Chain A
Amino acid sequence: MSSRITSLAIAGLAAAFTLTACGSGGSSSAGGSAGSGGSGSITVGLITKTETNPYFVTMKKGAQAEAAKDGVKLLTAAGAYDGDNAGQVTAIENMIAAGVKGILITPSDPKAIAPTLQRARQQGIVVIALDTPPDPQNSADALFATDNLAAGKLIGQYAKVRMAGKTAKIATLDLTPGVDVGVQRHNGFLAGFGIAEGDPSIACEADTSGDQAKGQTAMENCLQKAPDINLVYTINEPAAMGAYQALKAAGKDKAVTIVTVDGSCTGVGALTQGQFAADSQQYPLKMASLGVDAVMTFAKTGKKPSGYTDTGVSLITATPAAGVDSKDASYGQSNCWGS
C-alpha cells in the first residue's frame, strides 16, 4: 500500500528541508556559518514577543545589522502571540543548548518569564531585557528601554499646552492591566498633564492590547459613553490608528486631539498628515544594537551590563507647543524606525 505513499512523504520532507537550507543561508548573519557552532565565534540570542509586530521586526533588523558589524552570530526567536510565555521559555532553552553567550529578550509576560531568566543566568549567560522589564526587574542583568514615564510625560505636557482655554474631556486608551510599559506611559501622561488618577476630566479609560482593531473598538465605546471627548491618549501608534478610524467615522477627527508613543515611520507619516498631534519617538534600533554590543563585551571581557540604560525619547510634532521641547516631523522621519 504505502511504499509509494512513503516515498511521496519523504520527497515532500526533502523539499521542506531544501526550503530550510535556503532560509538558513538568508537569515543568519555573516560570520557564523549555519551549523558550525564552532568555538571562537560568539553567539547572541534575541527573543521578541512576536514575529509580526513591526516594532519587533525593526529590533530584529537592528540586531542583525549590529551583529554583522561586530562579527557575532545572531539567533532569533519569538513567541506565537503577545503573551506567549511558554514559547519564549522554549526559545531560551534552545538558545542555551545552542551555546549563546547572552540573551536579549522583550518579555511577553514579565512576571512569568522571571524564573526562566534566572535559570539562564545561573548557567553563566548574560540576560538583557529590551523595551519591557521583567518582574521583578532584577531577574535580568540589565534593562535597555525607553523611559516610558518620560515618554508619557512629554505628550502629557504637550497636550496641556494645546488644550489651554478648553475644558479637557480625556480618553486614555491603555495596554493591558498590570503591564509595566502601559502603566508607566499612562501615569506619565497624567503627570505631564497635571492631573491625578480619577480626575473628573478623564471621561473614559479602556484597554487595547496595543492593537489597532481593539483600539478602534475602545474608541467607539468611549464615544458612546462620552460623545464630547476632545483629547485621546493612546499607548502606541496601532491603538492611535484605531482611535483615528473611529473618530473619522464619527466625523470628529478634526475636533479631537490624539497623542501617542512610538515614533515609527508610518506613525510619523500619519502625524504629518495631521492624524496625530504629538508622538513620543522611541528607539528600538538603539536597544537592539546596545544589547548586541553589551553581550559582545561580556563575552570578551566578562563584564556584565547592569541596571537601567535609557535609550532615549523625543517628542515629535508638526505644531510645537510653547515651553515643551520638541522636534519637527522631518527629524522624526530621519530617525524613525520601521520602513
Chain B
Amino acid sequence: MNSVDSVKAPGAVDTTTAERAAASPPEAAPSRISALLRVPTLGPLGALLLACVYFSFASGRFLTGGNMSLILQQVMVVGTLAVGQSAIILTAGIDLSNGAVMAFGSVVMTKLAVAGGLPVWLAIAAGIGVCALFGAVNGSLVTLAKLPPFIVTLGTLNIAMALTHITSKEQTVTGLPTVLMKLGDTFPLGQTRVTYGSVLMLVLFAVAWYVLRHTAAGRHLYAVGDNPDAVRLAGVDVRRQLITVYTIAGALYGVAALLLVARTGVGDPQAGQTENLDSITAVVLGGISLFGGRGSIVGALYGALLVGVIRNGLQLTGVDSVYQILITGILVILAVAVDQLARRRRK
C-alpha cells in the first residue's frame, strides 16, 4: 500500500491476478504439442490444405502439376506485394498505396522501354526506383511528420493514381520488348513448367523470412510494432528503421510491377485498383495481426495461396465467381476474429 499519493502506472496489472500468478509455481516448459499449436501459421496452412483437399475431390483437373504451377503464377504479383505489406503491418502500420504505386511503376518501366528507347534493364531499374521513392515518401511522412500510415498511404495512393494517368495518357503500353517479359517465361520442372516469376516470389518470401527471424533488424521490426518506445530506449534509431522498411517495401512493389508486366504483357494504367486490399487480405488471412508485432511472414504466402486456390478451384468446379468473393470475405472475418480471440486469451 502506498501511503503517499501515487499515479497508477500505465498498463498496471490487476493486483489480484498478479498476486495469484506470483504465488503459482514457475512456468513449466511447454510440451511439444502445445508448442506446435502455438505456431502462428497453423491456421492459414490448415485452411490452405483443407481447400486443396476439397478441390482435388471436386475437380479432377485441380491437383495437376500444371494447375498448381498456374496458381503459383497467378498469385505471384499479390504475393510479392504482400511481402512488403507484411513488413509494414508488422510495424503496426499499413500501406494502402501499394497497388497504385505498382501500376505507376509498371507504366514507367514499359513507357521507358518502348517509347523512351531505354535499355530494358535501365527501364526496369527506373520503374523499381520510382516505387522505392514512393515508399520513402510514405516512410518519411509517417515517421517525421508523425502522420498515421492509413492517412499517408491513402494520400500517396491518389497521387500515384494521378501520376499514372498523366504519364500514360490513359493509353495501355503495348509492343513490349520480349526481354521485359522474361519473368513470365517458364522452365521445366519434372513434368510441369514453372514460371520464373513465381520462383522469384518464393525467393523473396524466403529472404524476408530469414531477415525477420534471424537478424537483429528483424527483431527490431517486430518490437517496433509491439512497443516503439522500448525499441527507442534500447538505442535503435526508430525513424531510420521505419523509413528503411517503407522504402524497401516500395522497391518490392516495383518488383511486383515487373511481374505484372511479365504476366499480362502490357503496361496497363488501369491496373492495381484492388491489389492493395488483396495484399492486406493475404496478410490478414496469414495470421499477421493488424495491430503489429505478431505473425509470421510465411502466413502471408499461405494467405495469398489460399485466395488463389479458391479462385482457381471455384472456376474449375463451375461455381459462379461471385461466391469466390463471398468466401474470401468470410475467411477474412474469421481470420481477424481468431486473431482477436487469441489476443484476449493472451492477456
Contact = CB atoms under 8 A, between A and B. Distances in A.
Interface of A: 1-3, 5-6, 8-10, 12-13, 15-17, 19-20, 23-24, 26-28, 32, 34-37, 51, 73-78, 80-81, 83-86, 89-91, 93-95, 97-99, 108-109, 111-112, 114-116, 176-178
Interface string B172-183: 101000000000
B58 interface: yes
B270 A78 contact: no
Nearest to A110: B172
B263 A89 contact: yes
A98 B321 contact: no
Given A8-B334, A34-B319, 5 more contacts: A5-B342, A84-B270, A94-B316, A98-B315, A109-B268
Contacts of A91: 315, 321
A304 B151 CA distance: 53
Q: Is the interface of A mostly helix, strand, loop or mixed?
A: helix
Interface extent on B, as a size class? Answer: 35 or more
Nearest to A114: B174
Given A81-B273, A176-B170, A20 B314 contact: yes
B43 A5 contact: yes
Contacts of A89: 263-264
A98 B316 contact: yes
Contact of A13 (B66, B318, B334): B334
B331 interface: yes
B10 interface: no
Contacts of B322: 23, 51
Contact of A98 (B61, B260, B274, B345): B61
A6 to B, nearest CB: 6
B42 interface: yes
Interface stretch (B17-25, B46-54, B119-127, B138-146): B46-54
Given A16-B330, A94-B311, A97-B70, A3 B37 contact: yes
B170 A94 contact: no
A7 to B, nearest CB: 10
A177 B270 CA distance: 13
A268 to B, nearest CB: 27
Contacts of B273: 80-81, 83-84
